[in-house]
Chains A and B, each alone.
Chain A
Amino acid sequence: MRRLLPAATCAAMLAALWLVFMVVPTERVMGVVQRIFYFHVASAWMAFIGFFLVAGASAVYLWNGSMTADRLAVASAEVGVLFCSLVLVTGPIWARPIWGVWWTWDPRLTMTVILWAIYASYMLLRAFGGDDDAVRRYAAVLGIVGVLDVPIIMVSVRLLRGMHPAVIARNEGGSGLTDPSMRAALGVSALALVLLGAWLIALRVRTERLGDELAALRREVEA
């Protein structure tokens, strides 16, 4: 698994790059900048997977106190925030030439930035809360509450449309993809980024575990 994941990630990434830049036709209305869409959407999916992993791992941690679950929660939160940041960076790059503004309070964008803030605060809590066992529990509670907030945020941001009309109402979803190769490119890009995310999470879980082991050894030496 430790060997397979990096190799699979690299292969999928190369395939995604090839599809996005060599195979997929240029979108007629938006032009070449639309190609960022494949990474933008795939990043969003990976960010979501990360946030749901945080909640799942947090629930397991509260249930049985498993250190592995806690490390998985930290790792998933960090990787989730990373991919969420990618969404927020690639979004404006795409939006500026198409919509004419860097930012708009479109429901989806709003939702992404709120989720980013929730899990950024999760990381702050872990960083500044102290290194007690208690902080692990607080973080787990936040991880669960954060995911419970997701459906409510989804419903609430739909209310925004009436107050802040989007510059151009555009469907970003799969229905806009006319060419079958576009759908294939999105699928492969998503696979590549999910594999990358999984690899990063696995690495991060390992560094957390090694860090704990190191701290334990250091205490043993000092005692």
Chain B
Amino acid sequence: MAGLVLRASGIERRFGGVAALAGVDLVGEGGEVVALLGANGAGKTTLLRVLGLLLRPSAGRLELFGSEVASLAVRGRIGFVGHESWCYPDLTAAENLAFHARLHGVADARARIGELLAWAGLDGVAGRRVRAFSRGMGQRLALARGLLHRPELLLLDEPFSGLDQDGVLALQNLLASLRVAGHAVVFTTHDLERAAPIATRLAILHRGRVAWTHDGAASHTVVASAYASVTTGRA
């Protein structure tokens, strides 16, 4: 194992008094792909934003790369792909990637951008403005953007949404290769079918808490019955 990348204990986050996270405990190591499952409103996105240092927890401890401080160096080791692409509609795909590469101080930016555009299947439209992109193309671009600086911790929020079959396969292959290379990945999904084959660990989030975890591969029926017992048992 490549060492502990993230350790969250007792993470809470309230919005105007309403608790979105009510004490989440989660650890992630290098070489792990953690899938966060859960219904709408279970707190998946909030948790991911807290782990990505985009939201400060209201309570609890968050340790990333062995540090409790949200320093700039720590930010530079995290890659985040959310619901939105973080790409400017009036810049081209290549310009957007170049902008984020410069923000992250990527050394071999040009080569890296070319490599990722090719991976995302966007090399043909690199010079086109993002405004003209379809939902799926935007999602591919967002993934390329999140990978630019070779993050050691990759956080993905519903990464499969909007992707076609090729895109899903490419992403699954990518996650597998990241796992082998010792990177840590945490992604959210409500889609058991796509999460199960690539995740090394499954966690079900329910009402702002991790209600169930499972190490290693799990069959659909196991996950489905756990899911059912979590949602009905505690509802």
Asked if B124 is an interface residue, CB under 8 A from chain A, the answer is: no
Q: How far is the CB of B23 from chain A (nearest CB, A)?
A: 15
CB-defined contacts of A131 to chain B, threshold 8 Å: 16
Residues of A within 8 Å of B15, CB to CB, are 132-133
* Residue of A133, A215, A216 with most partner-chain B CB within 10 A: A133
CA distance A130 to B17 in the complex (A): 13
Q: B residues engaging A (CB < 8 A)?
A: 14-18
Is A219 positioned at the interface, with any CB of B under 8 Å from its CB? yes
Contact with B along A111-132 (1 / 0, CB 8 A): 0000000000000000000111
Classify chain A's interface size: under 10
In the complex, A202 Cα to B15 Cα: how many Å?
27
Within the complex, what minimum Cβ distance (angstroms) separates B53 from chain A? 16
Q: Collect the chain B residues with CB atoms within 8 Å of residue A219's CB.
A: 17-18
Q: Cβ of B18: which chain A residues have Cβ within 8 Å of it?
A: 219
Residue among B14, B15, B16, B18 having the largest count of chain A Cβ atoms under 10 Å: B16
CB distance from B20 to the nearest CB of A (A): 12
Instruction: Give me the interface of A with B, judged by CB distance under 8 Å.
Output: 130-133, 212, 215-216, 219
**Listed A/B pairs (12) with beta-carbon separation below 8 Å:** A130-B16, A131-B16, A132-B15, A132-B16, A133-B14, A133-B15, A133-B16, A212-B17, A215-B17, A216-B17, A219-B17, A219-B18
Residues of A contacting B14 with CB < 8 Å? 133
| Smallest CB-CB A-B distances: 6 pairs | A131-B16, A132-B16, A215-B17, A219-B17, A216-B17, A132-B15
A sample of 9 more A-B contacts (CB under 8 A), given A130-B16, A216-B17, A219-B18, is A131-B16, A132-B15, A132-B16, A133-B14, A133-B15, A133-B16, A212-B17, A215-B17, A219-B17
Q: Which residues of chain B have C-beta atoms less than 8 A from A130's C-beta?
A: 16
Assembly CA distance A132 to B17 (angstroms): 8
CB-defined contacts of B17 to chain A, threshold 8 Å: 212, 215-216, 219
A169 to chain B, nearest CB (A): 52
A131 to B14, CA, bound (A): 12
A130 and B18 CA atoms in complex are apart in Å by 14
| Docked CA distance A212–B15 (Å) | 14
Q: How distant is B221 from chain A, measured CB to nearest CB, in Å?
A: 32
In the complex, which residue of chain B has the Cβ closest to the Cβ of A218?
B17
Chain B, Cβ-Cβ closest to A222? B18
In the complex the two chains form, what is the Cα distance from A131 to B18 in whole Å? Answer: 11
CB nearest neighbor in B for A131: B16
Give the CA-CA distance A130 to B14 in the complex, in Å.
Answer: 15
What separation, in Å, do the CA atoms of A133 and B14 have in the docked complex?
A: 9
In angstroms, Cα B161 to Cα A185, docked, is: 74
Question: A216 — which chain B residues lie within 8 A by C-beta?
Answer: 17
Per the bound structure, the CA–CA distance linking A219 and B16 in Å amounts to 11
Chain A residue nearest in CB terms to B18: A219
Q: Chain A residue with minimal CB distance to B14?
A: A133
Contacts of B16 in A (CB 8 A): 130-133
Q: Which residue of B lies closest to A133 (CB)?
A: B16
